[in-house]
């Protein structure tokens, strides 16, 4: 097995995220690696945006993201991942994850095989999209 120094776990806040995080924690501990996490918020455009004016919609979206982020930070803290090691990004999940991997010199990305989160943070196609053009090893955890 390779010796990893920086491990990044991509999660979506779903129930399956805990399984993915546990695997990442295990690998990071075995390699004495620094572990961080990322969750990418994709825009929540849909039927609600037509019922609300854009200012209200943006406020609701920000409130939702804050709630998810706070919940996730607490959950990750139980696994020993400090709040400062958690990245919350906005945009297309695969693109943002690949950028973070490059910027942070990540050695290993741990990601789930598919996600079920209604906020669409990490989609089933994201794991596949991340594989193309990424500069580190990728472990896909079956969930």
- 51 in a structural domain: yes
Average pLDDT over residues 26-52: 81
- 54 in a structural domain: yes
The angle formed by the CA atoms of residues 141, 76 and 40, to the nearest 5 degrees, is: 65
- 108 in a structural domain: yes
pLDDT at residue 8 tops 80: yes
For residue 113, give the DSSP letter.
Answer: S
Q: 3-state class of 119 per DSSP?
A: coil
- 1 in a structural domain: no
* Domains contained in the chain, number: 1
- 58 in a structural domain: yes
Can you give the residue range of the structural domain that contains 100?
A: 6-141
| Dist CA 30 CA 7 (whole Å) | 11
- Contacts of range 41-49, beta carbons closer than 8 Å, 24 or more positions apart: 41/65, 41/68, 41/88, 41/89, 41/90, 41/119, 41/121, 42/90, 42/91, 42/92, 42/93, 42/119, 42/120, 42/121, 43/90, 44/119, 44/120
| Dist CA 125 CA 114 (whole Å) | 7
More confident residue, 116 or 75: 75
More confident residue, 128 or 33: 33
| Contact status, residue 22 vs residue 32, Cβ threshold 8 Å | no
| pTM score above 0.85 | no
CATH number of residue 74's parent domain: 3.40.50.620
């Amino acid at each position: 097995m390779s010796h990893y120094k920086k491990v990044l776990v991509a999660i979506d806040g779903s129930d399956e995220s805990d399984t993915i995080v546990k695997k990442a924690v295990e690998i990071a501990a075995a390699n004495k690696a620094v572990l961080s996490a990322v969750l990418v918020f994709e825009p929540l455009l849909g039927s609600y945006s037509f019922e609300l004016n854009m200012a209200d919609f943006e406020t609701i979206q920000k409130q939702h993201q804050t709630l998810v982020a706070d919940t996730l930070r607490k959950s990750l803290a139980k696994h020993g991942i400090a709040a400062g090691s958690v990245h919350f990004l906005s945009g297309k999940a695969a693109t943002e994850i690949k950028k973070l991997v490059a910027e942070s010199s990540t050695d290993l990305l741990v990601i789930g095989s598919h996600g079920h989160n209604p906020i669409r943070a990490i989609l089933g196609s994201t794991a596949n999209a991340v594989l193309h053009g990424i500069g580190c090893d990728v472990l896909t955890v079956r969930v």
